[in-house]
Structure formats: structure tokens, C-alpha cells
Structure 1
Amino acid sequence: MKIFKEKLGRVLASIALVFVLLVGVGGYTAWYHLFRDVPLTYESPEEHFKYGSIGTEPSQGVPYWIWLVLPRIFPDKLPGAGGYTSLGITWEEGKETPVGFTKKTIGFPRVGITCAVCHTATYRTSPVEKPYIFPAGPSNKFDLQGYIRFLGAAASDPRFNADYILDEIKYNHDFSWVENLLYRFLIIPQTKKALLQQNTDFEWMNSRPNWGPGRIDPFNPVKFNTLKLPKDDTIGNSDMMPIWNQKLHKGSALHWDGLETSLKETVQTGAIGDGATKDSLPVADLQRVEDYITELAPPKYPFAIDEQLASKGNQVFANTCASCHAFGGERTGTVIPVEEVGTDRHRLDMWTQQAADTYNHFGDGYPWDFSQLRKTNGYVSVSLDGLWIRAPYLHNGSVPSLEDLLEKPENRPKTFYRGYDVYDSLRVGFVSEGKEAERVGFKYDTTVAANSNQGHLYGTDLSNNDKKALIEYLKTL
């Protein structure tokens, strides 16, 4: 009997050990393939800005292999040929993801967006030329709304299933049997569910005018999806902004309406607006972004400048524009009441006191916190560094060129095409009319709500010669 008990004890111990090992192996396998967080580092600050994580992958990241093949499965959901590039995305040769998209492994490789997706400028001198890329500038061509809608349309299609997607992934990657099972029964179904939920979360966009390329409604998504405030009928459509040269912008109000005064908070709220969560916000990585944009100078105008004419324009600028737009000007970086500047007020009205108060408490209990968000009564008189590549102009991108901006509103273009990055050095802006601009671009109609090109009458009464001189000088900023 004693021997039997000893044998039984050994058997039970062996079974227990096997069970523990199986549980351990199973737990490790689950952790490795679903939760393992692999640090993503770039030695170059520029590469970090373009491709480094800002914490969007845990909640908003799309599995890389699914993301990669979606344009091949659903080309009918895109605006044209070229896959993701048809949405105005810039893809550098040899990179796994486009500029502004990061690939980070959290269990499995995931694609998230970065600050650079909206804040990278490009230009070309001809339709066949590769784009010149300037990090921290405003995107003129990326259609963020189109990207969101593409993901939602793909997930809504019956073809978004394991059979279709796994068959397409085989052309790029061979999964192990464990990965294959996880993608078939967990990752693909959960990705579909998440994208459909995102589609629902952004349904409010459908009752408002389209953003178009190079534009975004930056804070309604925060109000409705992050802060969970009641949906209203406001329209925040506005141009993407440059964020370079922040050391010279110190003390200036931030965002078009000056709703922030802290650069650190602006970088962190930007990451949250892009999909980072309270727990995934990578404070150290975002500090590196802040340091980079603080020191980064804007690009120089790449074409010939008439130095004599620019010198004359410098005087016109000093007499007409400097108080609001030169570094050190008495009103530069301050909020000008909307009644004075006279530009479209929709962007201003979109941000509310309730939203500011709620956001200031968003980080309560975390090592980081917000306290500088506010409601203002106008738009910031921004400095003009790198102005040549910041077209179209005004906060809503309603004026295609500097030449047009110095015309009275009734003489500015009523419609034009934006999203085409071939440069027009004569008018100082991007080509905004003609067959190619129409084919590639988005028709901007200034009669549509939030698209008005009224206001900013400063400089419109100058003589033609003074206007030409002023524009020549503005090229040098």
C-alpha cells in the first residue's frame, strides 16, 4: 500500500509538473505573440520623428501584414491607382512604411500613425519628379479622412475575412502554424471588429463637409471620441500646420486659435489625438519629438530670388506685416479677435470652454498632466518662417497662393484644386488648376461651410509693385 501511494504521488507530481509546464508554455506563447512589447528606437532624430512610435499602436494600430495587403484586396475602396499613395501618402524608397507611419511589435507587428503623417511637407518641380520631403512642415496632400474611410470601407466588405487576407499575405510572408491560427481565429476577426468600431466612431464626419487633402478637423475627434463629450454640429476643418523652429516660437500661442500655450502639452495632446491612450503615452519618446522640432529650421526657398526686389519687399513687410508676423513683433504669436481678422470662424467655434476644461483634467493621476488648454476669441497671428511651402493659406487653406492672398477676397479664386504638390514658383503656392491638378487634387469650394476665403485684408491695398516686392521678400523667410 505504501509503495502504491508513493507511485501515485510521483505520477500526480509528474502530471502536475506537465500541467504547469503546459500552462507556462501556453502563457509564454500567448504573451510572445500577442503582448510582447519590443522597443522601437531610431538613432537619427529625423527618422524618429518620421517613423518612431507615439503610442498609437496598442489601441489604434493595424496589424502590419493585414495593413500591407488591404490596398491589393480593396483597390476599389481607394481614390485611384498606387495603393496608399493614392491618399497622398509619401513613401520613401526602401522603407517598410510610409512617412508618418510606424511599425512596432506588440505581440505582432502593428502600424500606427505618427506626428509626421500630418506634419511633413513635400514639393516637386514637375509631375515626374520624386518629392522633396521636409519633416515638420504641413502636409499639402495627405488625405487623413480618406485613410480613415478606406479602413472602414475595407472592414465593412465581406472580403475582409481570414481566407482572403491570409491568401494575400502569403505573397509577402510565411506565418508559422501558431501565427496562422492566431491570425485566422483572433487577429483578423478582432481587427475587423476594431475597424468597424472606428468607422462608427467617425460617423459624425459624414454630416459635415469633407476635409480634403492637407486638412483635418483636429479637435472634434478629441471632443467626441476621447473626451466623450456630446456631439454637436461644429466644423473644425483647417489646414495642417508647420511645427518646426519652435525655439523661435517660444511664448507664442499654439494651434490656429491659440488653444494651447505649452509646447510639451501640445506634443502630448497631439499623440492622444492620433490614438495614444493614457497608459500608452510614451513621454520620453515625445520629448525627443519636442526637442527635434524645437531646433529644426524651416527649408529655404529652393528657386532663384531677386535680391534687389526682396530688399525693397523687406521694407514693405516692416511697414505692413511685421507687427503681427515677424519674430519679435508686438502682436506676433498672440490671438487676434476674429472680428478683426475677419476669416472663417468655424474652426474657432469648434473648440469650446467645456472641451478645454475637460481636457485639462484628462491626465489627472498620471505623471504627466494638462493645465494650459483654453478657449480663445480669435486666431493666432503666426510667424511666417518657411512660408513658401505652407500653401494654401489662411487657417482653413482657402487661398491657393501668396499672390491670391494679397488680393481682396472678391478677387480670390472661388474654387481651386488642392492636394497636388507640384510647385508654382510664379504665384508662390502649389499648382491648383489645370488637368493634372484636377485629376490628382480635391476641388476646394469656398462657398462650402468652413471653407470661406474672406478676411485677412492686410496688404490687399498695396500697389502692384509693392505686392510683387513683398512676395519676393516672403520667399526668403
Structure 2
Amino acid sequence: MAPTHQENSKSSRRWWVWLLLLLMAGGAIAVVGWYQLFREEPQRFDSVEAYYLYGSIGAEQEEGIPYWIWRVLPEVFPQHLPGEEGYASLGMLWEEDEATPAGFSKKTIGFPRIAINCAACHTASYRTSEDAERQIVPTGPHQTFDPQAYLTFLGNAANDPDFTAATLLPAIEAEIDLSWLDRLLYRFLIIPRTRDGLQEQAARFTWTDERPRWGPGRIDPFNPVKFHPDLLALDPAEDDTIGNSDIMPLWAMDEQQGFALHWDGLNDSLTEVVLSGAIGDGARPDSLPVDDLADLEAYLLTKRPPPYPFLDDLDAELAAEGEALFQQTCAGCHGLEGARIGTVIPQPEVGTDPHRLAMWTAEAAERYNAYAEEYPWDFNAFVKTDGYVAKPLTGIWLRAPYLHNGSVPTLEDLLQPAGQRPERFYRGYDVYHPERLGFIHDGESAERHGFLYDTTEPGNSNQGHDGAAFGTQLDDDDKAALIEYLKTL
């Protein structure tokens, strides 16, 4: 017997009710999924400097690590760290009452995530004695953080058989109460995906195994960008270059407007340097906080380094003699009115290690200039150069070790002929040596806290910046006067 019209209507209504319920359920699941995994909560800071130290540069979406997993990794995997102080054993600087070290941003995108920002490398520290309070200097060059050791720790932890929900969840729940839904997400999605992502990252950096270690206060800044499959996509199997470089200060950038930037002058636009730096740290074109980074750029223009901390002991008369020597010997390249300040000095002339120059190629510059062309801030100023930039010496006392690869521990050593400079020394210890204008780099404490730097390894040469034009032939009294003046810059 065929169904009646009334029965058909009831059946149709039931069908529509079920469809509506399914749509509502699907919508609810989608909303919950978006909230738990993708909602983005804005960060708020009291100052641009606080943003510099702890704000997002857009790296959390692609390169961020779930914060609570990151938080417990040193506790769960201490065997993969170089010391017993957790992340501090990697040289991170952690201010009291902060959720992250300086240079790490905590941001909620669905769930709390952590990623590095510019301050991870560009924040200096120093102590006037071993028991003195550590001073943290935003925009200075980091002496203690070892970014390669950090990457190695993350990779080793992710490849450990205990990187599982069964191991990590109890450690996380000892730190924070998770909801039942959060526990499910961490167990079946977030922890497995984090493990996979960190393993993929470790695999991307296997090319570093064939090159000298970076060590604290140094990084190979552009090979990671060249070899990243989503960025410049050059092949590390066809490229054995070494770009290991000392980390640069970012203060007083108003003094460098129009100058060639980076160690080798590969770009003269501070805007492009800031944006490309964020991309190098893990941001992508559609995640860059362009307006925030413009505020950061303005901050870098006017931020100044701290004064030399031992000025009370300065010999003013000797410093005046040193200023005259500076004008005669150094100002042409390093004085703010010097004819060559901010220009690229050809490598054969300055004589310093050439490996950094081989790392940056014309092809890399071309690919970077073509990157993200559809965006209004696209890159145009990347170039290939043949030397190193003559930099202003503002805050030079806090920029040790010296030369572009950090191969000379003190200014006293830099004024010696290259053959008399230390062949091996420890870097990464932030207790200052005021007489030598650099950090303590030998002895038991430096050995215990530092990294052994060997100038005979490729990319680590301490040669160059030598001869009459560079002050190494001055007599000892003149060198002492010049050093006394450099303390005042």
C-alpha cells in the first residue's frame, strides 16, 4: 500500500529535523574545534620594549611549540640537555615572574604556543663579577644562548621513545589543570603532532652536522633560510658553505640609516631586515604582524646601549689621548663621519674569514627578492657583496667577542697582530673583564660555563683586521689609550 500524503509529510519533516540536528552538531563541533585549535588571542604589552622581549613576530602558527609541552621537556628529558639547569643550561635569559625566557613569545592560537622572536638572539647580558646580578640588555648581542644546542635538544627529545602522551601528560598536569577535552586533544592530536613536527625540524637541520658548531652567541643566519623547503629552497646537498656568524647588536639603528646592513651588507633597508628576520625565525607572509614590526623598527632606531659599567675607574686623560688615536687610525671606517663608515670593505683588504661571503650567493639574493612578491612589503634590496661592512662602534664594550665570526675574545686581543691572538678560548660566559674589554674567556669558570672556540676550524679564523691601518702596530701605551677611549663609545 503506497504511503499517504500525510505519512510522506511526516517522513519529510523527520528528514529535515535530522538534517538540521546534524548541521547543528557539525556546526558545534566546528566551533569547538576552531576555539580549541585555531582561535587567536591578542597579546598586550605595556611598552614596545616588552613586546620586543616577549611579543609575537608571527612564528607560532608554523614553528610554535605547544607551551605546556615545551615547559615540561627539560623535566622529562634532562638527559638531552648539556647541564642541570633546564633551559638555562642552553644560555637562555629568564627574568623573574616571566612565563618565558627573553626572546620567546607565548601566544594562544587555539592553545598556548611558544616561539622565538628577534630578542632570542639579540639580547645581551653581562655581570661585573661572578656573584654580581646579571644585567639583561635588550637589542644587544646574546653571549650565552646557544640556538643550535636548543634545536638539538628539541630534536633529541622528539626522537626519544618516551615522547608520548603517557609520559608527557602527567608532567603537564602537574603544572596545569587540563579539561577533559584538553586532555583528549593533547593525548591524540597535540602531542603526536608536536613530536612529528619536531622530528621534521630536526631532519631539516641535519646539514649542520657536517659543519663546525655555532656555539653560544653565534648562528648561521641564512643557510637555514636558503635550505628551508618553503623559503628559498636551495639544496644543502649541493652547498657546503659555512655562514657561522657572531650575533649583532640592534641598538642605535638610526646611526646606520642608509648603511649596508648585516655583517656583509646584503641589504640596506632596515624594514626589509626586520621583516626578513621574522620570516627567518618562522613567520610566514600571511602571519607577519606588519604594524607591530613597524613599531619595533622605530624602537630599534632610538634604543641605546648601556654605558660601560666601570666608568668610575676611567682615566679621562688617557681616554682623551685615545680619542686622538682613534681619529687618526680608526675613524675613517668606524667614526660616524668616516668616509667608509657603513660601506662594504672588500674581503682581501680586511683579510677576515671569507666563509660567510661564500654562504650568501647571488641566487639566494634573487630568490629572496622574489619571495612574497604579491605582498605590499615585498623584498627588493637583497644583494650579493664581496666583503664586510665597516660598522659604527657604538656600545663596542659589550660586543665581544669580535670580528664577524666572533673569533677574537677581547679588544685587547684584536689590537694584537693576528698571529698573537688566542687560538682557542671559551665563549658563552658573561662575566666581564674590564681591563681587556671583553668577557672572561679562560680559566675554570669560563671552561665550566663556556664553549671551546677553535680558530683553526673552517669559518672560525681569527686572521685579518691586521696591520698599521687597523691599529695592530701601535705601541702598548697607544693601544692602552685607544682601549680607554673605546670604553666611552
In structure 1, the residue matched to 2:478 is 466
In structure 1, the residue matched to 2:363 is 354
2:118 to 112, 115, 130: 115
In structure 2, the residue matched to 1:26 is 29
Q: CA deviation at 1:215?
A: 0.2
Structure 2 residue identity aligned to 1:439: R
The yes-or-no answer on 1:244 pairing with 2:251 is yes
Q: CA deviation at 1:308?
A: 1.3
Deviations 1:2-47 (A, max 9, x none): 5544443443333222212211110001100111111223230100
Deviations 1:169-208 (A, max 9, x none): 0110111111111111111111111100000100000000
In structure 2, the residue matched to 1:314 is 323
In structure 1, the residue matched to 2:345 is 336
In structure 2, the residue matched to 1:191 is 194
Separation in structure 2 between the aligned mates of residue 328 and residue 171 of structure 1, nearest angstrom: 59
1:230 to 230, 235, 248: 235
Structure 1 residue identity aligned to 2:150: Y
The two structures have a TM-score, normalised by structure 1, of 0.98
Equivalence map 1:126-205=2 (5 Å): 126-205=129-208
In structure 1, the residue matched to 2:272 is 265
Instruction: Tell me whether 145-154 or 360-369 shows the greater mean CA deviation.
Output: 360-369
Instruction: Tell me whether 146-155 or 221-230 shows the greater mean CA deviation.
Output: 221-230
Amino-acid identity (%): 56
Separation in structure 1 between the aligned mates of residue 49 and residue 268 of structure 2, nearest angstrom: 25
In structure 1, the residue matched to 2:392 is 383
The yes-or-no answer on 1:422 pairing with 2:444 is no
In structure 1, the residue matched to 2:487 is 475
Deviations 1:26-71 (A, max 9, x none): 0001100111111223230100000110111111000000000000
Unaligned runs of 5+ in 1: none
The yes-or-no answer on 1:438 pairing with 2:450 is no
Q: CA deviation at 1:287?
A: 0.8
Q: CA deviation at 1:81?
A: 1.0
The yes-or-no answer on 1:367 pairing with 2:372 is no
Separation in structure 1 between the aligned mates of residue 131 and residue 26 of structure 2, nearest angstrom: 58
Separation in structure 1 between the aligned mates of residue 126 and residue 207 of structure 2, nearest angstrom: 32
Deviations 1:321-357 (A, max 9, x none): 0010011211011000000000001011110000001
The two structures have a TM-score, normalised by structure 2, of 0.96
Separation in structure 1 between the aligned mates of residue 357 and residue 306 of structure 2, nearest angstrom: 29
Structure 1 residue identity aligned to 2:457: V
In structure 2, the residue matched to 1:94 is 97
In structure 1, the residue matched to 2:86 is 83
Equivalence map 1:200-219=2 (5 Å): 200-219=203-222
Structure 2 residue identity aligned to 1:471: I
Separation in structure 2 between the aligned mates of residue 205 and residue 462 of structure 1, nearest angstrom: 40
Separation in structure 2 between the aligned mates of residue 268 and residue 204 of structure 1, nearest angstrom: 25
The yes-or-no answer on 1:69 pairing with 2:72 is yes
The yes-or-no answer on 1:48 pairing with 2:60 is no
Q: CA deviation at 1:278?
A: 1.9
Separation in structure 1 between the aligned mates of residue 360 and residue 411 of structure 2, nearest angstrom: 28
Q: CA deviation at 1:367?
A: 2.2
RMSD value over aligned CA atoms? 1.0
In structure 1, the residue matched to 2:38 is 35
- Which SS does the other structure have where 1:133 is aligned? strand
In structure 2, the residue matched to 1:283 is 290
In structure 2, the residue matched to 1:400 is 409
Deviations 1:421-442 (A, max 9, x none): 0111111100001101001100
Deviations 1:75-111 (A, max 9, x none): 1100001100100000000000000000011111100
Structure 2 residue identity aligned to 1:152: G
Matched residue pairs, number?
477
Structure 1 residue identity aligned to 2:142: S
In structure 2, the residue matched to 1:324 is 333
